Structure 1
Amino acid sequence: MEIINNEKNLQFEYHHNDEVARLEYRFYKDNIAMMHTVVPESMKGQGVASALAEQAFAFAKEKKKKVMVYCPFVSKYVKKHPELREQINREYHPNL
C-alpha cells in the first residue's frame, strides 16, 4: 500500500479507484498534531487507516517531533501499539 505525504495539504494519503483516504496533520510548536483520519466506505476494513497512522508516526520519528493526538482513530491505534507511546507528547496526553 503506497502512502503519500502530501506536504502541501499536510496530510498522508492513500489513493485507490479515484478515492482518497487521508490522515490530516499540523505542526504545532515543536510537535506534529494528528488531527483527523478519513477513510472512504469502499476502503474500510482493509487496514488503510492503520497504514496512514504508521506512516505518520514514522514521519514524526524521522523529523524528531513529538506527537499530539486529536484524532480518535489515532488514539485507538496508539493504545494497540504501545511502542509508539514514547513518541507522544505527555504534556498534552498524559493518559496515552
Structure 2
Amino acid sequence: MSGRYALRSLSQHAKRNLGTRMSSTEVGALQVQHDESNMEFYIKLGDDKAFLQYDVLNPVTGAVDLQHTVVPEVFQGQGIAKVLAKTVMDHFATQNKQMKLTCWYLKKYYNENQIQLYAGRVIGD
C-alpha cells in the first residue's frame, strides 16, 4: 500500500448534504485533473476530492500500477469512480502504457467494460 494513500474525513459541507445526489449530466461533466508530481488523478468535489493514485512500475517502459480509487462516502454510488477509471485507463492506454490493476474497483471496471483500447495493455501481478 502506498504511503500517499490517506482517507480524508468528509468536509462540513459534504456532511450537511449527505442526501444530495449529482445528476448524470453533472457526473458526466466532471473535470478530471492529473497531478503528475503526486501520481494522482482527481476530481474536485466542493471541499473534497475523489482520486485515483498510481505508481510507476517500470521507468523505461512507463508501465504503471493503478493502486487506489477513493470517492468520499457522500459521493459514492453516483458514477464518479467510473469517470476516474475510464479517464485514467484511457489516458495510459492511448500512451500505449501497460497497466497493472491493483485497485479492486479498477479490476471490476475492466472486467465489466471490455474496451478494445485496453486490449493487451492490462498486465497481471
TM class, shorter-length: 0.7 to 0.9
1:50 is aligned to 2:120: no
Q: How does 1:79-94 map to 2 (within 5 A)?
A: 79-83=111-115, 85-86=118-119, 87-89=121-123, 92=124
The number of equivalent residue pairs is 91
Q: TM-score, with normalisation over the residues of structure 2?
A: 0.68
Deviations 1:32-88 (A, max 9, x none): 110011110111111110111111111102321011010000000001111255121
Q: Which runs of 5+ in 1 are unaligned?
A: none
Q: RMSD across aligned C-alpha pairs, in angstroms?
A: 1.3
Higher normalized strand content (fraction of residues): 1
Which 4+ residue blocks in structure 1 deviate beyond 6 angstroms? none
* Match among 96, 104, 109 for residue 72 of structure 1: 104
Identity of matched residues, %: 25
Structure 2: segments with no counterpart, 5+ residues: 1-29
